[in-house]
Amino acid sequence: MSDILYKHESYEIIGACMEVHRELGGGMAEAIYQAAAKEEFGERSIPHQSEQELRVFYKGVELSPRYRPDFLCYDQIIVEFKAITEILPEHEAQLFNYLRITKHQLGILVNFGKRSLETKRIALTR
């Protein structure tokens, strides 16, 4: 039996995003959801940094361009927001690649573009 990676932290992040969606509804610009989530994360004392520069590696060499996720929560979980009609495999692959090149283990893809909030946990497995 395997444990879920960062189970409690993921629950807290997704709960905060659900509150944002419940308050604002679907269909707004991604930047609106990011600003609201920043407030909600703060109210819930969820450690977070917005658009924090993360190091990127290629064959073990650090590259000068940096990746800036929408949020880095708990210094461990990359959180990417979308405001689209549906999450596509390309969005999941993009987040997986962000995890791979930054060496983080878990990402959460959050889509505010639908009537109900949509979330996907993406884990980097070895």
pLDDT tier at 37, thresholds 50, 70, 90:
very high
pLDDT of residue 88: 94
Q: Tell whether 102 is covered by a domain.
A: yes
Structure tokens at 9: 């932290």
Whole-angstrom distance, CA of residue 107 vs CA of residue 70: 11
Q: Tell whether 1 is covered by a domain.
A: no
Whole-angstrom distance, CA of residue 40 vs CA of residue 36: 6
pLDDT of residue 102: 84
Evaluate if residue 1 carries a pLDDT over 50. no
Structure tokens at 66: 């940096």
Evaluate if residue 60 carries a pLDDT over 90. no
Whole-angstrom distance, CA of residue 96 vs CA of residue 41: 23
Q: Tell whether 46 is covered by a domain.
A: yes
pLDDT of residue 126: 55
Evaluate if residue 40 carries a pLDDT over 80. yes
Q: How many structural domains are present in the chain? A: 1
pLDDT of residue 66: 86
Structural domain range at position 38: 7-123
Single pTM value for the model = 0.90
Q: Tell whether 2 is covered by a domain.
A: no
- Cβ contact 52:77 at 8 Å: no
pLDDT of residue 107: 97
For β-strands 106-111 and 118-123, DSSP reports them as antiparallel
**10 closest CA partner among 69, 104, 78, 87:** 78
pLDDT tens digits along 62-119? 899 888 899 999 999 999 999 999 999 999 999 998 898 888 999 999 999 999 999 9
